[in-house]
Every structure is written in structure tokens, then in C-alpha cells.
Structure 1
Amino acid sequence: MPKLHLAIDANEANVANRVGSNVYAFQIISQFAKIIEEESDVEVTVLLAHSPLKDLPTETRSWQYRIIKPQKLWTQLAAPWHLYTHQYDYNVFFTPGHYAPRYCSVPYVSSVMDLSFLHFPDQFQRNDLLQLSSWTKYSVKNASRVIAISNFTKNEVVKQYNLDPSDIVVAHPSVSLPEYPATKAELIKFLMKLEIRQPYFLYLGTLQPRKNLISLVKAYELFCQQQSPKKLEELPQLVIGGKIGWLADPIIEAIEQSSVKNNIVLTDYIPEKYKPQLYQAALSTILVGLYEGFGIPPLESIHFGVIPIVSNVSSLPEVVGEAGLQVNPHKPEAIADALNQVFSMPSAIRKSYQDKMQTQRAKFSWQQSAHTIYQVLLDVAKKQ
């Protein structure tokens, strides 16, 4: 029996500072390489616009990189032409992002993170919005199968593009740990530099409108008022860690005008190496956004044994389950009640959440998700 030959678009993973979909692509591709090591009848060609970064899997006889040009308009020109001229070499093509090549001559499997651009079009720059709207629709409607990162995203894709649910397979993200995490001493130095006191409420993520941070600031104000007559410096701070996104000015203004602004710490981007210790030193983490395709920070929080507070909408109930507190994101008073609940939580109840978190985090694995996608690719390849 001839070998199966898989082609993979790894451009989404081939970036230095990975976030979101870059992390997803990198982890899935890294796990694929481990799977291929054990397979004797499958080979992979990884297609790139630029030379692979050093942390991508090492080349072997069954795992090869190929740089195809032109680099500009790669998805529109380079990839379609390469796949057309090599259509008899590849059994299936996989892209871990929204963008499949136009006029793809090889059966392909594409991925979808979320459809936030359809729900919040005003929060995307015009060119990005047009690209996401056009290419996502093309990619999913012409794919042999589609990978979704959550059941929530799967249902969104089925509803929006009228696809057969059986053609969409869910492969969740998981937790990615830094190779060289900061030591406790390094974290203490980092916290002192930013004037952060332990423990604290922690938000990690980009500052952008759909993260609902203005409601979080209002909720934190209510929480502080409810703790009277305690002094502000006796209460956990609200640490907002993440890069400043597009349309973030109203969020910055809400923080600067807050009555408790002296207890709110805005850190800007936090290096990955600090995140494990930063989570572990938190009282609770908070993600009360209005729309999430998955929600990595709550899962990271669960991994480190810190109770997350999340919205009861989109994918977040799926991610957290019973291992955290779910709130109505449109009601600051509900968020404030959750902050107070964690702040005053008896140790016995906190212990019960530890047990729930241990159960919940076992549901998510990069290895398992990669095997799920790999099996989809084999199924598509063998049907050709």
C-alpha cells in the first residue's frame, strides 16, 4: 500500500511571539510530528512562506519542510499553484487557521477559532473584517471536514454556514506551559516592580471591547464598596494584564476615572514565563467577556488550581464546567457578587473546587486534540 502524503500549512505556527491561533497551530503541529514518528505509512510536507523557526519539529525522512513563493499573497497565489502542480502528490491538505487556499486542488480540512467578526464587526478594522468574512465562508463551505475549537464554535459554524454537523469535528485547545518559567524570586521582583500585592484578582488577555472590561471595573468598584469599612489597601487588587488592543481607549478611561483606580494595576503585556507563578499567586481569575471561541485563560487558571470567574455565555461554560463561577456578563452586580464569593469563600468549599478543577482539566489535552485531527485527515485521505 502506498504511503499517505499529508500537506500542512504551518504559517500560523511559524511566528515568534505566538498568541491565540498561533499557539493552537504550533501545538497541534508539534503533536503531529510525534504521531508521525510512530507511523510508517504516512509522510508529511509542511508548507511555509518563510524558513521554519528553530522550535518547530525537526525534519526527518517522513517530516519535510518546503518553502513556496511568492511570500506575498501566499494563500491566494503560492499555495494554490503549488497544490495544483502537486495535486497528485498529496492526499489531503490541512490548515489550522481560517484561511484555506483559493481554488485548492487537493481535498482539505480547515479550522475555525470563532466567528466574533460577525457578531462584533465594528471591533475589526475594515480590511481584516472583509478578509475574515470572505475567506472563512469560502474555507468552511469548500472543506472536506472542518475543525472547531469548541462545541460552541461548531454550533456557530453550523448555524451561520448551514453545514452538516457531522462534517465538523471539535478539537479543543489545552494549556501551553513556558519552557523556562520564572522562579518565585523572579516573580516577587516582577510584582514589586508593578506594585502588585498578593493575592489579587487577575485578568489576562488583550484589552478590547468584547472582553467587557468596563463592566469588570464597575463590578470591582461595587466589590470594594461592599467590603466597607475595610480600607482599600486591605483588599485584593484588580490586576489587568495584557497588551492594549484596538479600540481600548474607553477601557483605559474607565480605569483612570474609577473611584478605586489606585487599586487597579494595568500591566500591559506579560511575558509567558511569568504566567504560571502569576496564576498561582492570584485569588481568582476573571474572564467575563461577551464572546469567546474557547477561553484559554480560565483553563490555565484551572490548571494552576485557581478558581476562575467567567461569563455564562459563548464557550466559557464549556471550558469551565463546574470548576468555576459563572455570571451574567451584562450585570456588574453579579460579577461583584462572584468576586465577594471567592474573597470570603470557606476553605471547605475552596477544597471542593480544587477537586472539580482536577476533573475538568483532565478533559483537555493537546495530544488528544492532535490525534482527533490526525484521524480526520486520515479519513479524508482514504476516501479519495
Structure 2
Amino acid sequence: MTVLAPASTAPGVTRSRARGRRRVLWLVVLVATLLLAGVLSVTFGARDVGPADIWAGLTGSTDTASAAAVGKRVPRTILAMLVGAALAVAGAVLQGATRNPLADPQILGINGGASLAIVTGIAFFGLSSASGYIWTGMIGAGAAAVFVYAIGSLGRGGPTPLRLALAGAVTAVAFSSLISAILLPRINVMSVFRFWQVGGVGGATPDTIGQVLPFLVVGFVICLLSASALNTLALGDELAAGLGARVRTARLTASAGAVVLCGAATAVAGPIGFVGLVVPHICRLIVGVDHRWLLPVSAAGGAILLTISDVVGRVIARPEEIEVGIVTALLGAPFFIALVRRQKMRAL
């Protein structure tokens, strides 16, 4: 007589529990690493500070130069974490919504659209407020996303990964040229935003964080609520529709959340690239493709990457600093080349 094992001890259930414990463990490790990165960001820079200076700076003291430096690094660190998390989540969502392994806010021209809109607003309409930057950035990011998708959809076969990547790359180059054309004759605008174009978090203030935080929260909520729909879209449009999913609505909603995150992050930190490309692929290796886990893990990974990149940029060029956008580009470009060779432009 064959005795059936209890359902609780079935191999599938055991594997599922082990996978869940591993995911929780990775999330805990990433959160701990993020806290460590925050400590490093506050400690190291043009001037290294000790525990006493850190405590003095956190309590609002400006009696010493070190304590004052800590007071400036804390909002910088918080903004780096928020922007890194936003870009990583946006990249994961765009990759899932388009089923394109090369989807990234920078590569698809979304960051470039936000940058062009902001620079245009500054040069021609006197844009100056932080909230104005954010709204303008989101409008530009949304317009760029629609434009790239429309161009990639032309012809037979629709928006294939190759077409989207090429349309986004061409659009990003065109936007960059237009930004240069606007800035070159306007020295006053160029002098203010020459570092912003590269991408950095050095100008972070509590007021800036307060202005951008509501938009980032809205974007994060939309993306997290779209996690289950993204899992369904990964099965393919026909099968997803057969399972009752509203494919177009799910894709547009998820993409809207990513655009909000890209536009807001670009408005306060400039067009930082490759975070949204590198982090989601690394996170898939450790937690799998389930977006309910992938998105929060990507948020932690993106925050870690941008915070550490900011520290590296401050340390290796003392007493000057290298903007974080340059550091992420140096890290991300080799990864992008390796990814193209490995994926061979296949869909996810």
C-alpha cells in the first residue's frame, strides 16, 4: 500500500518555503547593507568625521566644521537612497511592462525627456521652483515614453525589444543634442545646471526631499500595486488576456508609475543612468522574477548602489568630487555590453 505524504511536506511546498526564507534573508541582508552604506556616506567625503561629529551633526550642532559637514551629508544620503530606489524600481517595472531586458529610463530616453523639459522650462519660461521642476520633469518623461513606444511600434511585429532599444537610444541622443543647443548660448543657465546634467545629489536639502517625497511615494505605490499584473504580463499578452488580465490597462498603469518615479528623480538629481538597468537584473538572480519580491528588493539594491557610488565619487577625487552620474555610468556601461551579448536582444 502506498502512503501519501502530508501536503505540508510535499516537495513543492518545501521548495516554496525554502525560496520564501531565502528571499526574506536577502531582503534583510540588503536592508542591513543599506544602513551600512548610509553610515559610510555620512562618515566619508572631503573631510572624514568620527562618531562624536556624527552625533553632533545629527543633533543639529554646527559648532565644528565636521559636525556641519555631517548636517549636509545626511540629506544628501537620504536623497541618494530615494533616487536610487526610484530608478531601480522604474527600471524593473519598465523591463516587466515591455518584456525588454534592455529597458532602462536612460536607455529608453525617459530621463532625457525629463531633462529636456526641465531645461526648456528654465531657459524659456523662468522655471525655478522645486515643485515646478518635478511637474515639468514628469510631463517630459511621460511624453518621451509615449514617443519612444510609438516609434518602436511602427511597422510589422509591433514594439519588439530591438525596436524599443533602438528608438530609445536614438531619442536619448536627440534629446541630449537639443539640451546642448539650448544651454550653449545661455551661459547663466549652463553654469547653474552643468553638474545637474551629469547627475548628482550634492545639492540635497531637507526642503528638496520634502518636495519630491510625495511624488516618489505615489510612484512607488503604483508600481508595487502593479506587481501581480506584471507577473501576468510576463506570460505573454495572449495568455495574460486569456487569464482575464486587461493587458493594455496593466501595462499603461505600471508604466505610469515608472514615469512618475523617473520624472521626479530626474528633476532633483539629474539624468542618472544605468541604475534601472543593472540593479533589477542582479536582483532577479537572487530573488527570482516574481515582481512582488523583485520590486522591493530592487528598491533596496538601487538605494545601495547610488549611495555607494556617491561615496566613491567623493573619496577618489578629494578634495573635489566626481558626480554620481559619472560613477554609475562607469559601472553600468560594461554591464550593459555584457547584457546585450548574453540576451541577444531577446524579450524577458
TM-score of the superposed pair, with normalisation by structure 1? 0.22
In terms of fraction of residues, the more helix-rich structure is 2
Structure in which a larger fraction of residues adopt strand: 1
